[in-house]
Amino acid sequence: MRIRIFRATSLAEAMAQVRDELGLDALILSTANQGGLVEVTAALEPEDEPEPLELRGSRMLPERPVFDTPEPVAALARHNLPPALLAALLSAAHTTTLEVGCSRLFRFGRLPLDADGPPLLLAGPPGAGKTLTVAKLATRLVMDGHRPLVITADEQRAGAIEQLAAFTRLLGLTLIAAGRPEMLGRALSRREPRSPVLVDAPGLDLFDPAQNDLLTSLVAVSGARMAVVLPTGIDPLEAADIAAAHADRGAELLVATRVGRHGRLGGLLAAAHGADLALTEAGTSADVSDGLITFTPAVLAAQLSQPLPARDVPPRRPADVAAPAPLAVPPTGRGTLALHIAAQAGGARLPLWKTNP
């Protein structure tokens, strides 16, 4: 096996060196940053040795799905993926397709929102987007004709109950606050037949023994399936640690939030791959009726291969020219409820929720 180390100022340049010297069958073993340079270690099996240049034009070589330009390589590199995952995805993109590579490296699943199924408990670090995700899922269920039981166990964050209560009020639902395991058990006893259950867990640091025990008790009392909620842009090592800690408590699903057009997915994928969590849904906007998409290998591959964002700075508006006022367009159709919720969510005067005794 030929093993070579290539160094360049960018990953795209290093990958071009690999292709030029070892050909398209080279395996990427690792990538690293060394002294301000990108270092790529590649290998080639003896039977895969490239033909001499004078022989390559003597016959037609079979076409293979490869990156023809360095832009897709750079698009993958910008996601801050762990080196092993980046190498695996690059290898898949060279030999098959990026979508096939995603299907092989990650598990995909669906959130358990069945009417008579176990409760779904959304857990994760503070500020990950759990409460908004619960509001989106509750809105989806109401629009599909269900009346979910919505419970918040987050009595620690200031305004957490009021925020979720504003959404549930506009959906015609009653929010139950149950911050302790015994309260959660009593709240679940009020569950009506054919009613899905959504539980908004507090943002916990599972490396703190007391908070770890609280999440363990909430899951044990409720019998819930747990989904970890993580935002894009999170550090890959931190995300992997958080996911592993939740997986030890029984988590098996992952919900991504703040997945914009140019969001960096390295942390999310490090968490999913390291803790063997199934990718389920991705939050793409604050729209509660249409702000979640289902994660599939095709969706993930498309997100990973988005072109780099433009860095052009828009021209500055002269100080004496006022910005035009936005047009007021009356909401219509399916988005009406979501727009109404978004407009009213911050203006609750008398929040409608119950504290479970």
Token pair 């269900």: residue: 146
For residue 91, give both structure tokens: 């290898």
- According to DSSP, the residues that pair with 34 across neighbouring strands are 37
In this structure, of 70-79, 112-121, 146-155, 158-167, the range with the lowest mean pLDDT score is 70-79
In this structure, of 130-144, 165-179, 289-303, 322-336, the range with the lowest mean pLDDT score is 322-336
Residue 18's CB is within 10 A of a number of other CB atoms, namely 23
Tell me if 192 is assigned to some domain: yes
Of residues 283 and 349, the one with the higher pLDDT is 283
What lies within 8 Å, CB to CB, of 253 at 6+ separation is 109, 111, 225, 226, 227, 228, 277, 278, 280
Say whether both 207 and 288 belong to one domain. yes
Tell me if 91 is assigned to some domain: no
Q: What is the pLDDT of residue 261?
A: 65
Say whether both 133 and 280 belong to one domain. yes
Say whether both 77 and 135 belong to one domain. no
Q: What is the pLDDT of residue 130?
A: 93
d(CA 117, CA 223): 10
Tell me if 329 is assigned to some domain: no
Tell me if 97 is assigned to some domain: no
Tell me if 215 is assigned to some domain: yes
For residue 234, give both structure tokens: 């999170």
Say whether both 239 and 289 belong to one domain. yes
d(CA 16, CA 100): 23
d(CA 56, CA 36): 35
Q: pLDDT tens digits, residue range 209-267?
A: 999 999 999 999 999 999 999 999 999 999 999 999 999 999 999 999 999 866 899 99
Say whether both 6 and 126 belong to one domain. no
Q: pLDDT tens digits, residue range 126-145?
A: 989 999 999 999 999 999 99
Say whether both 73 and 134 belong to one domain. no
Q: How confident is the model at residue 158 (pLDDT cuts 50, 70, 90)?
A: low
Q: pLDDT tens digits, residue range 317-348?
A: 555 445 544 434 444 444 445 444 444 444 44
Q: What is the pLDDT of residue 315?
A: 52
Say whether both 303 and 207 belong to one domain. yes
- Structural domains of the chain, count: 2
Of residues 83 and 49, the one with the higher pLDDT is 83
Say whether both 124 and 75 belong to one domain. no
For residue 333, give both structure tokens: 């159709």
pLDDT (average), residues 164-176: 90
Supply the CATH number for residue 342's domain.
3.40.50.300
Tell me if 324 is assigned to some domain: no
Say whether both 257 and 125 belong to one domain. yes
Say whether both 22 and 159 belong to one domain. no
Tell me if 128 is assigned to some domain: yes
Say whether both 149 and 274 belong to one domain. yes
Q: What is the pLDDT of residue 317?
A: 52
Half-sphere exposure of 253 (CA within 13 A, CB side): 19
Q: Give the domain range for residue 187.
A: 120-308+336-355
Pairing relationship of beta strands 27-34 and 37-44 according to DSSP bridges: antiparallel
Say whether both 157 and 213 belong to one domain. yes
Tell me if 106 is assigned to some domain: no
